[in-house]
Amino acid sequence: MATKQDLDWSFGLKCHTGKYLTAEAFGDRLNATAGSMKKKQIFFLETDASDAVHIRAHSGKYLRVDGDGKLCCDNEAKTDESELLIEAQPDGRWALKSKKYNWFIGGSKENLTAFTKEIEEEKLWTVHLAMHPMITLNNVMRKAYVHLSDAGNSLTTDELIPWGHDAVLELEFLEDGSYGIKGSNGKYLRADGALSADGAADKDTHFVIEFQGGQVSFKAKENGKYLTSLGAQGLCKATKSAIGKDEQYVMENSYPQVALTATNGKFASIKQGTELAATATEVSDLEIFQLEPQGGSAFKMRTQTGYIGATDAYCGVISDVDVAVADDSAGGKVFNVEWHGSKIALKASNGKYLSQKMNKYISAVGDSADEASLFTFTLVNRPRIAFRGEFGFVNVMPSGLLECNKSSAEIFELESNDGSYAIKSSGGKYWKVGENGVSAVGDAAEYYTLELQQNSKLAIKTDSGMYFQSAQNGAFTAKGAGISEKELFEY
């Protein structure tokens, strides 16, 4: 469960013929025959204190090299034969070597072996990240986050907390195996620090990702220099020939950040001090709350200055210095979120709902989810959004029909209106529910309700009460009567 900020590394491995390594569901068989990346082609990277890594398949079993030089995936426990070394190449491809035997893994189709100690073309693998592309990026040296500058013309590294849409970046897998780093305005970072609207066609926007345990570095493919954060603002620019801590970054999960409109039409805010009150007419950083999953329907609400806590006598920002209040249960830092159409209710640990009082202050005093206890929520850090369901990413087909089993993400625009949301494709057409499924063909907005769930997932609900649903064959429909894995989409 994504209750922590760091991400699990998931990826596909393409062999030298362009086919993906596949772990079959039955018989523990491996091959490199798949033309696209789906569940059986996704692997997970596990690191430890040593220089070795372990690579786990969807089955929970680990890749290993046996004493005969055969590549296997048949053991649910880590062993010395599953210890692998990654040797990143200048073009971004990986050479994977058995630490025990010093043999490099390679081959194609069903012929996957590890016999040689030399790196050859057939021993090189292209890494296709399978993670959701929306991330935050923390610089190891500065302990600060990369975000789009206020001018919108560069990426800088000077936010101690990734706050607002400008701190959400996108990683785009490019055809040559490199990656584009995109700001929240959709523009690509260039090696010289500028942002480009030309996208993948601009070769200076192509970066190779190199892994160092839980950290990554980005090497510009054109000039061979590593991305670093320069100066007081930490301008992102590829200028360094070697990797130091200034060139190391940690990719982290981007939690949902919302604004809450109370029954008086004002936004909940902490601008009046530390107490929570519905007093703001517009959204600034003081009206943004980060929802961090705690399991089930439970979330913490973080502000820029601390967590919201609610007791019988107080509702507002609490100090983690106060041990008695910093404890989750004693300080009332955990809230249960209830969905009521396009509105939410927040139940505190004292069993009462957050409720707007006559003096505009919000306290945990509500006995039921009545009008004073219902808040309209606006998702503020996903103006650009991608959806990944159980079987893959949601994409628009040439016909306009949406399918949900694709290897790469497609980015959509999210438009909010009084707690409901319309979704628009890059072609300018809105999602529309039809008899054959969901299509991006609408000239006018069609609005849905978003219900935020655990693990950075959400459910999309129509006015008729049906949920959007994914199917293994790619069918994307609005036929779900309830919420299961098929109705959940990582965003």
Going by pLDDT thresholds of 50, 70 and 90, the confidence category of residue 10 is: confident
The average pLDDT across 409-438 equals 95
Count Cβ atoms below 10 Å from residue 120 Cβ, excluding itself. Answer: 11
Measure the CA–CA gap between 116 and 110, rounded to whole angstroms: 18
The model scores a pTM over 0.85: yes
The answer to whether residue 327 scores a pLDDT higher than 70 is no
CATH topology of domain 9-129: Trefoil (Acidic Fibroblast Growth Factor, subunit A) (2.80.10)
pLDDT in tens, 355-378: 999 999 999 999 999 999 999 999
Provide the β-strand partners of residue 220.
Answer: 207
pLDDT in tens, 372-382: 999 999 999 99
User: Same topology for domains 9-129 and 257-379, yes or no?
Assistant: yes
- Give, in words, the CATH class of 384-490: mainly beta
Tokens 């983690």 belong to: 320
Count Cβ atoms below 10 Å from residue 168 Cβ, excluding itself. Answer: 24
First-to-last C-alpha distance (Å) of the chain: 15
Residue ranges per domain, the chain?
A: 9-129, 134-253, 257-379, 384-490
Three-class SS state of 325: helix
Q: What is the mean pLDDT of the chain?
A: 91
Count Cβ atoms below 10 Å from residue 479 Cβ, excluding itself. Answer: 15
Provide the β-strand partners of residue 438.
Answer: 433
- Give the closest residue to 185 by CA, choosing from 201, 175, 170, 202: 170
- Give the closest residue to 230 by CA, choosing from 329, 313, 142, 117: 142
pLDDT in tens, 99-111: 999 999 999 999 9
Quote the pLDDT of residue 325.
43
Measure the CA–CA gap between 249 and 215, rounded to whole angstroms: 5
- Give the closest residue to 157 by CA, choosing from 235, 249, 217, 238: 235
Going by pLDDT thresholds of 50, 70 and 90, the confidence category of residue 56 is: very high
Contact 341, 369 (CB under 8 A): no
Going by pLDDT thresholds of 50, 70 and 90, the confidence category of residue 6 is: low
Going by pLDDT thresholds of 50, 70 and 90, the confidence category of residue 2 is: very low
Going by pLDDT thresholds of 50, 70 and 90, the confidence category of residue 200 is: confident
Decide which of 2.40.50.100, 3.10.290.10, 2.80.10.50, 3.30.450.40 is the CATH code for 134-253. 2.80.10.50
Measure the CA–CA gap between 183 and 179, rounded to whole angstroms: 13
Quote the pLDDT of residue 185.
94
The average pLDDT across 431-450 equals 96
Q: What is the CA radius of gyration of the chain?
A: 24
The answer to whether residue 211 scores a pLDDT higher than 90 is no
Length of the chain: 491
DSSP E strands, 397-455: 402-406, 412-417, 420-424, 430-434, 437-442, 449-453
Quote the pLDDT of residue 371.
96
In degrees, rounded to 5, the angle at the alpha carbon of residue 264 between the alpha carbons of residues 261 and 268 is: 35
pLDDT in tens, 150-174: 999 999 999 999 999 999 999 998 8
Tokens 């069609």 belong to: 446
The answer to whether residue 320 scores a pLDDT higher than 60 is no
- Give, in words, the CATH class of 257-379: mainly beta
